[in-house]
Structure 1
């Protein structure tokens, strides 16, 4: 796994403010509603070729951090185009599936995982919503310049989710935002 630290204008105090894991895929789907006892089937959102983005916010994360995350995630050159050249998900173009992943904020202590550095749930929900909305709007704006109709889908914040994917690689990248 590659790791890159994105620099901020102010010095970091106490470690990263957010983490993302980027994983290329040929297809992916995540369950957003479980099946019910009344017989209603589970609900899924799915994407075609593109990028899965696992997102975790830690204490100290702000809207400015979210804005930098979106720019980095959508513009980093990880995907191969038809000529074998590395391009961004916007240049490919491809779909994006955003998954909230609080476990990325965990630290091991003795034999247990602890999540004391994670942001409060309501603050995390606000930042996650901002992240997904900006990604969606950026991809939508990019679609105006091309003939494709690529999508941004997202999982539900604060819930367990069932994910299935067909990966391309796997090429997995960890990015920390300070």
Structure 2
């Protein structure tokens, strides 16, 4: 039975896609006349695509980090689903502003995304918080897991090996 109060549904402030991986590789700096392309990579673990939407602020980051790193999405050696912290596994964070897009006619529009400066600040803080949580995990320290990340605001070449298309969308 309704309580008489109308429950206000707020628009999401971020969108995340999580995908377990066996390995992943991300170009973080394209080839130039002076140098070869630069890549970052991880082994077994979790790929996190992240997009911050309008009205996003630091107050959502703690919940995001805890939820993402504790979600039981990775298969251990026995096929049991465990968190990336319990695996323990690596994490690759990829900024993905296109996840904030909206199809209007035949074209994508990105009016729902946070502005670039705020997005970069949130992305940087999110990475730091993930690194802090991973460093505090005894299992992650023992295995020397890593948090790697892409370059905010750049197009990046990405490849991944996975044991199944196992993607999950979360909104915060």
Q: TM-score, normalised by structure 1?
A: 0.89
Residue 119 of structure 2 is aligned to residue 142 of structure 1: no
Structure 1 unaligned spans of 5+: 1-9
Change (3 A) 1:59 1:163: same
Structure 2 unaligned spans of 5+: 1-6
Q: CA deviation at 1:86?
A: 1.1
Larger-gyration structure (1/2): 2
Residue 44 of structure 2 is aligned to residue 26 of structure 1: no
SS of 1:93's partner is: coil
Q: CA deviation at 1:60?
A: 0.9
Q: Give the strand-richer structure, 1 or 2.
A: 1
Change (3 A) 1:146 1:129: closer
Match of 2:67 among 72, 82, 93: 72
CA distance in 1 between partners of 2:140 and 2:40 (Å): 25
Answer whether contact 1:79 1:89 (CA < 8 A) is retained.
yes
1:19-78 per-position Cα deviation (integer Å, ceiling 9, x unaligned): 00001111001111111113x111111000010000000011111111111011000001
Residue 153 of structure 2 is aligned to residue 158 of structure 1: yes
Structure of greater relative contact order (alpha carbons < 8 Å, 6+ residues apart):
1
1:132-157 per-position Cα deviation (integer Å, ceiling 9, x unaligned): 01001111111467521100000000
CA distance in 1 between partners of 2:17 and 2:8 (Å): 23
Match of 2:39 among 39, 44, 49: 44
Considering only aligned residues, what root-mean-square deviation do their CA atoms show, in Å? Answer: 1.5
